[in-house]
């Protein structure tokens, strides 16, 4: 049971940003997608959520192919984007209702869950607010709450820590750990390598649209022949070679 990306070639129109990307995210694991600016992290995620169409290769989740069964595949994924995408004319409450409708969630259970998440992120008194009145971090928290509501097989998280205060970062990490325990596969792109080193079970390092290395932190230390190096040192060393 996992996300499988196999020989993915893709990008924007005819420009192939991703050259031949393969990796797996197993059920109940958190995988860090690591790369410099422009390496192809968001492009990879955009392919996995079906926003971009592969030029070659395949993407499947627990055997369900994005190409062959897009609706069944998309029901099983949730996504926290790097830049919050909210509807100006909808309140926080209406954003939650929209998410519940989209995933066909049972109302009572979904609202209990939503209220718990809203309390964690200190948003429970802002249900009637519109996005224009939210700070950057608050908008990011709304995206997190919406993505955490459904019970999905795969959660994609694109650079979540920018704009979040330390309390919210801790709360997000706790929620990711909870999701993982429930069996969700999580792929998270981030530049915050110290946090990634602490919380991720394994890593996919990409550079110029190609996988440089993948595996656990111990695997990467072995591959780079640096038994005491940090994730950041390993990555800098690999990209400079
Ligand atoms: N909409 C787009 N149209 C054309 N090219 C794009 C588009 N978005 C990104 N690219 C190009 O694709 C390449 C990979 O970009 P991508 O956004 O995937 O990088 P990233 O690893 O997520 O970087 P960052 O860490 O800066 O967010 C870059 O060369 C970028 O210029």
The pTM (predicted TM-score) of the whole model is 0.94
Tokens at 76, concatenated: 């099983």
The CA-based dihedral angle spanning residues 207, 212, 217, 220, taken in that order and rounded to the nearest 10 degrees: -140
Q: Measured in angstroms, how far is the CA atom of residue 40 from the centroid of ligand 1?
A: 6
Give the domain CATH number at 105: 3.40.50.300
Q: Measured in angstroms, how far is the CA atom of residue 51 from the centroid of ligand 1?
A: 14
CA distance 116 to 168: 14
Q: Which atom of ligand 1 is nearest to the CA of 44?
A: 18
Q: Measured in angstroms, how far is the CA atom of residue 39 from the centroid of ligand 1?
A: 7
* 36-82 pLDDT, tens digit each: 999 999 999 999 999 999 999 999 999 999 999 999 999 999 999 99
Does ligand 1 have an atom closer than 6 angstroms to the CB of 162? no
How many other C-beta atoms lie within 10 A of the C-beta of residue 6?
Answer: 15
Q: Which structural domain, as residue segments, surrounds residue 62?
A: 2-240
CA distance 43 to 47: 6
Does ligand 1 have an atom closer than 6 angstroms to the CB of 14? no
Number of domains in the chain: 1
Q: How far is CA 231 from CA 26, 44, 226, 228, in A?
A: 21, 21, 10, 10
Tokens at 47, concatenated: 């392919």
Q: Measured in angstroms, how far is the CA atom of residue 38 from the centroid of ligand 1?
A: 5
Nearest to 77 by CA among 86, 69, 88, 87: 69
Q: Measured in angstroms, how far is the CA atom of residue 89 from the centroid of ligand 1?
A: 29
Does ligand 1 have an atom closer than 6 angstroms to the CB of 183? no
Pocket perturbation via mutation, ligand 1, pick of 14, 17, 44, 48 by most ligand atoms within 8 A of CB: 17
Phi and psi angles of residue 110, each rounded to the nearest 5 degrees, phi first? -65, -40
* 171-220 pLDDT, tens digit each: 999 999 999 999 999 999 999 999 999 999 999 999 999 999 999 999 99
* 13-28 pLDDT, tens digit each: 877 899 999 999 999 9
């Amino acid at each position: 049971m996992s996300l499988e990306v196999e020989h993915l070639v893709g990008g924007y129109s005819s420009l192939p940003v991703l050259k031949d990307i393969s990796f797996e995210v197993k059920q109940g694991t958190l995988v860090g997608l690591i790369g410099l600016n422009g390496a192809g992290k968001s492009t990879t995620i955009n392919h996995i959520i079906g926003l971009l169409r592969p030029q070659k290769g395949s993407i499947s989740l627990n055997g369900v192919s994005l190409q062959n069964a897009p609706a069944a595949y998309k029901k099983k994924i949730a996504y926290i984007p790097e830049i919050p995408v909210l509807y100006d004319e909808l309140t926080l409450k209406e954003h939650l209702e929209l998410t519940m409708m989209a995933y066909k969630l049972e109302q009572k259970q979904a609202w209990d869950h939503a209220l718990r998440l809203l309390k964690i992120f200190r948003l429970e008194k802002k249900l009637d607010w519109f996005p224009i009145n939210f700070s950057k971090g608050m908008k990011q928290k709304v995206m997190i709450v919406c993505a955490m509501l459904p019970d999905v097989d795969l959660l994609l998280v694109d650079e979540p820590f920018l704009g979040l205060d330390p309390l919210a970062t801790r709360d997000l990490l706790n929620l990711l750990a909870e999701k993982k325990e429930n069996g969700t596969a999580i792929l998270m792109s981030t530049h915050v390598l110290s946090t990634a080193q602490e919380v991720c079970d394994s890593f996919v390092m990409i550079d110029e649209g190609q996988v440089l290395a993948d595996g656990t932190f111990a695997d990467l230390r072995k591959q780079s022949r640096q038994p005491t190096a940090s994730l950041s040192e390993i990555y800098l060393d690999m990209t400079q070679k």
